[in-house]
């Protein structure tokens, strides 16, 4: 990908490949400090994504470096408030994970939040999915 960085903080980097029509959000290995801090973190990320014009792009959410977390309080706040702000409005969504456990966790999210997405450990597979039909 020929990526242009458009946003970065401790938790996310946002890269855009205009040629392919793909936005990549790359999760860092830095743990979120608290549930209360998630509002500001995802507001900043969401604002950066909004500025791009989401419907023009496919989203590749690269979660490979992110620390695993599945406590019930975190899962609820992500589903109800923050995941829609992150992935909503894109033409297609692909989620890149590092393990089979990651695939299963994101599949569970997909069943509960209603956002259609492809989940894979294979980046090339996701890029093909995100760029077909362009």
Residue-range domains of the chain with CATH: 4-131 (3.30.750.24)
User: Which of 126, 110, 133 is CA-nearest to residue 25?
Assistant: 126
Question: What pLDDT, on a 0 to 100 scale, did the predictor assign at position 112?
Answer: 80
- Residues of the chain with pLDDT > 90, as a percent, come to 81
Within 10 Å of residue 74's Cβ, how many Cβ atoms? 14
Question: Whole-angstrom Cα distance, residue 78 to residue 114?
Answer: 13
DSSP assignment letter at 121 = S
Tokens 């999760």: give the residue: 27
- Inform me whether the pLDDT recorded for 13 exceeds 90: yes
Q: List the end-to-end C-alpha distance of the chain, in Å, as a whole number.
A: 16
- Inform me whether the pLDDT recorded for 1 exceeds 60: no
**pTM flag (> 0.85):** yes
Mean pLDDT across the stretch 22-30? 98
Question: Whole-angstrom Cα distance, residue 106 to residue 75?
Answer: 11
User: Which of 96, 94, 93 is CA-nearest to residue 121?
Assistant: 96
């Amino acid at each position: 990908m020929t990526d242009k960085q458009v946003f970065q903080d401790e938790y996310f980097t946002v890269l855009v490949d205009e040629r392919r029509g793909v936005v990549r959000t790359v999760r860092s290995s830095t743990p979120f400090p608290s549930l209360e801090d998630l509002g500001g973190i995802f507001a900043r990320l969401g604002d950066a994504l909004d500025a791009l014009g989401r419907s023009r792009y496919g989203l590749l959410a690269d979660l490979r470096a992110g620390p695993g977390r599945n406590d019930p309080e975190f899962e609820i706040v992500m589903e109800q408030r923050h995941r829609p702000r992150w992935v909503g409005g894109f033409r297609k969504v692909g989620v890149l994970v590092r393990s089979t456990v990651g695939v299963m966790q994101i599949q569970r999210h997909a069943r509960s939040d209603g956002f259609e997405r492809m989940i894979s450990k294979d980046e090339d597979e996701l890029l093909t999915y995100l760029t077909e039909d362009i």
